[in-house]
Amino acid sequence: MPAEIPDTTPRRALVTGAAGGLGREVALQLARRGCAVAVTDINGEGLTETARQIGQTGAEAEIIVSDFTLEGAPEAAVEKVVARWRGIDILVNNAGYGVIEPFLDATFKAWTRTLALNVTALAMACKAAGRVMREQRSGRIVNITSPGSRMALPDYTAYTASKAGVDSITRAAAVALAPYGVLVNSLAPGMMDTEMQRSTEVDLARANGRNDLQAFLDERTRRIPLGRRAEISEVAEAVVWLCLDAPQYMTAERLNMSGGLDKD
């Protein structure tokens, strides 16, 4: 058998919601694995810091400041990546928004904003990257979902419904792109102490009339079978595994990274 020739082509990645939290960590880990990484977010300052850290790894970075809820924004971000690197190999749809709102006080504004980012923008990004990947006959897309997508959480229904939408889009995109060798999977992180999680739990405590925030947080942590919250870095490792290392036969999968909280 001929010796395998190592593929040294830097893989071209786009990570959304990469101004901090999980997105920044995924971008950095991809950069350390030799990818060229474009990072996009509504928060330009956070992106500049992410790009600075990517630069320290020696990888190329591209900053795309964008409000993904605007029509055409996801497509424009993908176009920018393709214009710079002539293609796109990896898309991580990580940008997310959620707000605590009791079901019977639901507002049009909260639902619209949540669905615009978590569902519509994600679908448009999958479509735009998927069209390029179809021509390339290769590519991987990873969508960030949540254990909440399969739970009844009456204080967080717009968010959980939007993540059920992510699961649905992942399945459809995986089937649409399978004939071209493009893989689409999702990953459900458990509780990670990011900005989003922290402010959500403060609001959740308030909505439940709990003034003892730390006790409330500890109770929630105790519900996790592994008995602790997830490190952002370990969740990012699993995302990067799906992007770079998962077998070529794995598509339409939903990977649980929630310490046993989410099981099936």
Ligand X SMILES: NC(=O)c1ccc[n+]([C@@H]2O[C@H](COP(=O)([O-])OP(=O)(O)OC[C@H]3O[C@@H](n4cnc5c(N)ncnc54)[C@H](O)[C@@H]3O)[C@@H](O)[C@H]2O)c1
* Pattern 104-133, ligand X, x by CB under 6 A: -------------x----------------
- What are the angstrom distances between the C-alpha of 182 and each of 122, 163, 233, 244? 17, 22, 26, 12
Query: How far apart (Å, rounded) are the C-alpha atoms in residues 19 and 7?
Result: 30
191 forms part of the interface with ligand X (CB under 6 A): yes
Q: Which amino acid is at 134?
A: R
51 forms part of the interface with ligand X (CB under 6 A): no
User: Looking up tokens 């790894």, which residue turns up?
Assistant: 57
Q: Which is nearer to ligand X, 21 or 165 (CB)?
A: 21
Question: Given candidates 14, 91, 100, 144, which one binds ligand X under the rule CB under 6 A?
Answer: 144
Closest contact distance (angstroms) between CB of 33 and ligand X is 20
Query: How far apart (Å, rounded) are the C-alpha atoms in residues 162 and 98?
Result: 9
The tokens of 213 are what? 């925030």
Q: Which is nearer to ligand X, 9 or 199 (CB)?
A: 199
156 forms part of the interface with ligand X (CB under 6 A): no
Q: Which amino acid is at 144?
A: I
Q: Which is nearer to ligand X, 20 or 139 (CB)?
A: 20
In the residue annotation, 97 being an active-site residue is answered as: no
Burial 20-58 (b: 16+ CB within 10 A, else e): bbbbbbbbbbbbebebbbbbbbbeeebbeebbeebeebe
Binding positions for ligand X, 201-260, rule CB under 6 A: none
Q: Which is nearer to ligand X, 18 or 183 (CB)?
A: 18
- Residues within the interface to ligand X (CB under 6 A): 17, 19-23, 41-43, 46, 67-69, 94-97, 117, 144, 146, 189, 191-192, 194-197
Please identify every residue annotated as catalytic.
159
